[in-house]
């Protein structure tokens, strides 16, 4: 490492800028009038009428008001470009450079929500659907799955999850939220596990949730927070999300849980996006009804179309490609490498050689407990 480069100071600067620029994109692509438009959609379909929802979204994050003010946006971009000049050519320097380039892409994605450019920008940011993933998804869609009985409500689910956190002395709070496209999610910044207020789970589903959200997401974040550089908790590159979701699904499978339903759901998301980029909301939903019940088909269409310019036009939100793609990439990586190599923080399988070359990293404190291979 170049002794002349103060990476600690650069780390602080990058994270301060990232805090100013980054936002939870999902907060701004999830429709405010979802229930109202969902009701209208099904009322029309019951009459055999086509209907494309007219979604409304949150006003743009005040932090993004500068997107219409070119001088301010230019200032942010100049600061980022100046930081690029300070990085070295060693592994840590390359890591920071990738983070800066990720922030540039995220700016373009966030500023385009609800515009004609959003679909293309989201494909650039999250990646498109490659032939291998699409082929795998189509195969999974042909398989039969077993129906699980969801009988455990929010209170009991929250108690089980909270106990699993307590065992590791990790201070996160389980909170109730209004229904969205997924039953559960984790907010690493606020240290909250968020569960839909009307959600219910099977016993197996709760164990999968713990493996996915806590061992897959929380552990990597908390390990990253203990590293000398804050960037390891914030995330090194956009591909880190893909790997994180891939680890989460791999853990469910490695722990001997039934993931057939989950893989079918993730495969459905691939098919939905593949359809949505060429068709409107109604047509996307009709395609998904070939594989799922109407309500599930609607949810998949919603996930694939949210944030796009208009629901009566072609266009997709590509975030959901990362789940199945990430699973396949992580599965391949772990054939040759130990899981521990992915737990020094939040980064992708592609970044692992760079990460392992960084001096001074601390050993991961939190690692998933896996059963012995049979």
Radius of gyration of the chain (CA): 21
Q: Take residue 310 and report the two structure tokens written for it.
A: 């208009």
pLDDT at 374: 35
Phi-psi region of 156 (alpha: psi -120 to 50; beta: other; left: phi over 0): alpha
Q: CA 25 to CA 108: how far, in whole Å?
A: 12
Q: To the nearest 5 percent, what fractions of the chain are helix, strand and coil?
A: 60, 5, 40
The residue behind tokens 């979604």 is: 55
Q: CA 105 to CA 269: how far, in whole Å?
A: 23
Query: What are the backbone angles phi and psi of residue 57, rounded to the nearest 5°?
Result: -125, 165
pLDDT at 53: 96
Q: Take residue 261 and report the two structure tokens written for it.
A: 């339903």
Decide: 243 and 322 in contact? Cβ < 8 Å: no
Q: CA 239 to CA 106: how far, in whole Å?
A: 12
pLDDT at 231: 94
Q: CA 341 to CA 17: how far, in whole Å?
A: 28
Q: Which range, 49-63, 115-129, 278-292, is most confident? A: 278-292
Q: CA 260 to CA 164: how far, in whole Å?
A: 24
pLDDT at 180: 63
Label the pairing between strands 184-187 and 192-196.
Answer: antiparallel
Q: Which residues contact 135 (CB under 8 A, 6 or more apart)?
A: none
Instruction: Return the H-helix or E-strand segment holding 187.
Output: strand 184-187
- The mean per-residue pLDDT over the stretch 236-252 comes to 90
More confident call, 285 vs 208: 285
The residue behind tokens 């550089």 is: 229
The residue behind tokens 């990790």 is: 170
Instruction: Return the H-helix or E-strand segment holding 196.
Output: strand 192-196
Q: Take residue 232 and report the two structure tokens written for it.
A: 């390891």
Nearest Cα residue to 347 out of 127, 123, 95, 97: 95
Q: Which of 67-76, 190-199, 294-303 has the lowest mean pLDDT?
A: 67-76
Q: CA 25 to CA 119: how far, in whole Å?
A: 14
pLDDT at 63: 42
How far are the Cα atoms of 36, 42, 298, 332 from residue 39, in angstroms, in the given order? 5, 5, 11, 43
pTM for this prediction: 0.85
Q: Which range, 4-8, 19-23, 171-175, is most confident? A: 171-175
């Amino acid at each position: 490492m170049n002794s002349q480069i103060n990476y600690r100071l650069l780390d602080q600067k990058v994270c301060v800028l990232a805090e100013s620029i980054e936002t939870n994109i999902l907060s701004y692509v999830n429709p405010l009038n979802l229930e109202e438009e969902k009701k209208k959609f099904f009322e029309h379909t019951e009459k055999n009428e086509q209907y494309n929802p007219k979604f409304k979204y949150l006003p743009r994050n005040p932090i993004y008001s500068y997107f219409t003010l070119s001088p301010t946006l230019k200032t942010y971009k100049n600061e980022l470009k100046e930081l690029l000049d300070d990085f070295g050519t060693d592994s840590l320097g390359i890591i920071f450079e990738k983070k800066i380039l990720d922030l540039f892409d995220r700016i373009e994605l966030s500023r385009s929500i609800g515009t004609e450019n959003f679909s293309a920008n989201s494909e650039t940011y999250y990646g498109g659907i490659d032939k291998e993933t699409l082929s795998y998804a189509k195969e999974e869609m042909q398989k039969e799955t077993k129906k699980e009985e969801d009988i455990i409500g929010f209170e009991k689910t929250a108690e089980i999850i909270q106990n699993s956190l307590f065992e590791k002395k990790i201070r996160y709070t389980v909170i109730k939220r209004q229904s969205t496209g997924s039953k559960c999610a984790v907010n690493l910044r606020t240290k909250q596990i968020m569960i839909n207020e009307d959600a219910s789970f099977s016993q197996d589903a709760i164990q999968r949730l713990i493996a996915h959200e806590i061992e897959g997401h929380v552990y990597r974040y908390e390990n990253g927070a203990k590293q000398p550089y804050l960037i390891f908790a914030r995330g090194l590159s956009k591909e880190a999300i893909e790997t994180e979701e891939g680890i989460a699904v791999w853990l469910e499978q490695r722990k001997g849980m039934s993931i057939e339903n989950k893989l079918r759901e993730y495969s459905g998301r691939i098919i939905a996006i593949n359809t949505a980029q060429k068709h409107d909301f109604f047509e996307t939903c009709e395609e998904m009804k070939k594989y799922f019940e109407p309500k599930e088909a609607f949810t998949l269409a919603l996930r694939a179309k949210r944030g796009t310019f208009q629901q009566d036009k072609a266009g997709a939100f590509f975030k959901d490609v990362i789940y199945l793609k990430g699973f396949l990439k992580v599965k391949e990586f772990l054939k040759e490498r130990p899981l521990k190599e992915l737990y020094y923080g939040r980064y992708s399988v592609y970044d692992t050689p760079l990460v392992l070359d960084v001096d001074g990293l601390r050993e991961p404190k939190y690692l998933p407990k896996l059963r012995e291979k049979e």
